[in-house]
Amino acid sequence: MDKLIKMVETMKPFFEKVSNNIYLRAIRDGFVSCIPVILFSSLFILVACVPEIFDYKWPEAVSSVLWQAYNYSMGMLGILMVATIAKSLTDSINTKMPKLRQINDVSVMIVSIICLLLLAVAPVDGGISTEFMGTKGLLSAFVVAFSVPNIYKFFVKRNITIKLPDEVPHYIAQTFADLIPLSVAVMVYWIFGIVFKEATGMMFGAWILEVFKPLFVAADGYIGVAIIYGAMAMFWFVGIHGPSIVEPAVTAIYIANIEANLQIVNAGGHATNILTHPTSYFVATLGGTGATLMFCAMCAFIAKSKQLRAVGRASIIPVTFAVNEPILFGAPIVLNPVLFVPFILAPILNVWIFKFFVDGLGMNAFTYILPWTTPAPIGLIIGTGFAKLAFVLAPLLLVVDAVLYYPFFRVYDAQLVEKEKAGAVEAADETAVAVPAAPVVTEADLPNDEKRVLVLCASGATSSMLAKAITKGAEHRHAPVESIAMAYGQHKDIITDFDLIVLAPQMASMYDELKSDCDAKGVKSATTSGREYVGLTRDPDKALDFALALMAH
């Protein structure tokens, strides 16, 4: 097992390189930006459809209004995603461009929308079809969002532009500077769309869906889901945020499947598409990547090791809401050979059992999207439309995960007990994870002017734990320090609003880029180890000292 772990760890630089890929990051950032829209639209669908499960049907007028909110939000997702992905990619490209020769991200967003319409939306009598403006247009949106910023880059980097006299105001000159790449991008997609339809008899948006259909089907099979969710766990095991690598590649499948399931159920059919965001949230990752909820519960309530008991009790609440970094780094699970097998296998077995319930027992797959922080058993029941079998599946998955983790938990617990008895491991107390020594800031050293700290992680959940700890420490000691959390990528335009930006450990592969951005704008930056980060989240005073020491350095 140690040899296997070392082999996996040697591949970490490659995994980190993949994680840093600007195109995968652009998909992830674009999706994160659209999550509020997806959740908003899902609320209306829940209100519109769930009553029918209990034999109540809304009047036609009410139902029409509810579906209207869905159609004009989720139904426009392709349009929204092409703009947000293109902006994220443009921001990444701009970091390598000269400071006085930056690509206009607003112009790129506008042109990307136009190009998507030219590529994937067909004209109909009196208007245009909306079929490929939503989830069916996501693959086309990726093509457009990846190419348009590069067209702009070609012209902006070479300063190929319409030059105006110096007396012309900058904002007017910028309009003309954007005119050449804008015109070229629109012309390219206009001509390509016409030629492609003449040659194939299909709009590009419909054609690309047909091309990728076999991949969608294969990904939904037993082997496909095993590879996808096993890979997420494998990346996390070596300390890299797995979903940030894997999910961008399957986001289009996730979103297309959830809408397809909804349409099938509304038509009275059996929804069988497995790969969806809720499957990841509420089946594969019960308690976070690795399905760690039951392992955390065992640590909290039956562990004999003081270390595991302390970590489990400190982590059980966030893990219940799928924030499992405290247990991943606190136990630790990351790079722990004893826990490798259940950490990889639990997500795979969970999804296989779910697939058997859907394919073999006739249960409907997920039709609704809920926030990923919804406790998994609740999300599983609601997301499947209160399917009767979901009330059986939810506790069954918990039992399966407990049985799978238990023997490995016992071995690891016994190892720690022996080490604690021998004094090789300092026993953690009953309420907190030990925090490494950090400079203590005296009351006299507290800043007089206001300081702002930003903490970043993949989704803004783990980072909120440290941000809240810093804020609590500041309130307790009456220090003028404010701290907030965000998902990585959301900080790009507001770096200078902060005095310090801290990167959570699972995003450490992004630190070189963050440091470069922060150094260019005179802002302090830092990252931490997993163990240190978990400890800081449990000790507000130490968290405040940690932030102040970095800002004073």
What is the pLDDT, as a whole number, of residue 433? 46
Identify which has the larger pLDDT, 443 or 327. Answer: 327
Q: Supply the mean pLDDT for the chain.
A: 86
Angle between helices 138-157 and 242-266 (to 10 degrees): 140
Q: What is the CA angle 170-176-182, rounded to 5?
A: 130
Classify each residue of 178-216 as buried b or exposed e, where b means 16 or more C-beta atoms within 10 Å of its C-beta.
bebbbebbbebbeeebeebbeeeeebbbbbbbeeeeeeb
Q: What's the pLDDT score for residue 228?
A: 92
Residues paired with residue 415 on neighbouring β-strands, in sequence order: none
Higher pLDDT, 22 or 443: 22
Q: So what's the pLDDT on residue 439?
A: 58
Task: Identify whether the C-beta of residue 551 lies closer than 8 Å to the C-beta of residue 523.
Answer: no
- Tell me what pLDDT residue 512 has: 82
Could you tell me where in the chain the CATH 3.40.50.2300 domains are found?
Answer: 451-552
Query: Residue 122: pLDDT band by 50, 70, 90 thresholds?
Result: confident
Helix (H) or strand (E) holding 483: strand 481-487
Closest C-alpha among 360, 104, 523 to residue 515: 523
Round to whole Å and give the CA distance between 521 and 148. Answer: 28
pTM: 0.80
Over residues 336-365, the mean pLDDT reads: 94
More confident residue, 93 or 20: 93
Structural tokens at position 463: 């980072």
Beta-carbon contacts of 74 under 8 Å, excluding residues fewer than 6 positions away, are 37, 38, 41, 42, 134, 135, 259
- The number of residues making up the chain comes to 553
% of the chain exceeding 90 in pLDDT: 39
The DSSP code sequence of 12-70 is HHHHHHHHT-HHHHHHHHHHHHHHHHHHHHHHHHHHHHHHHHTT----HHHHHHHHHHH
Say if residues 466 and 543 touch (Cβ distance below 8 Å).
yes
Q: Which residue has the higher pLDDT, 408 or 448?
A: 408
Residue bearing the bigger pLDDT, 447 or 262:
262
What confidence category does residue 430 fall into, taking pLDDT thresholds of 50, 70 and 90? Answer: very low
pLDDT at 427: 43
Task: Name the active-site residue from 34, 115, 296, 457.
Answer: 457
Q: State mean pLDDT over 292-300.
A: 94
Among 56-60, 267-271, 349-353, 442-446, where is mean pLDDT lowest? 442-446
Helix (H, G, I), strand (E, B) or coil at 288: coil
437 — pLDDT class (breaks 50, 70, 90): low
Q: List, in sequence order, every residue forming a beta bridge with 526; answer none if it has no partner.
A: 502
Could you name the CATH architecture of 451-552? 3-Layer(aba) Sandwich (3.40)
Instruction: Judge whether residue 4 has pLDDT over 70.
Output: no
Question: Could you read off the pLDDT of 461-516 as tens digits, one per residue?
Answer: 778 889 999 999 999 888 899 999 988 877 888 899 999 999 988 777 788 888 88
Q: Which residue has the tokens 């099938």?
A: 264
Structure tokens at 119: 């590529």
457 catalytic? Reply is: yes
pLDDT at position 217 is 84
Mean local confidence (pLDDT), 2-11: 69
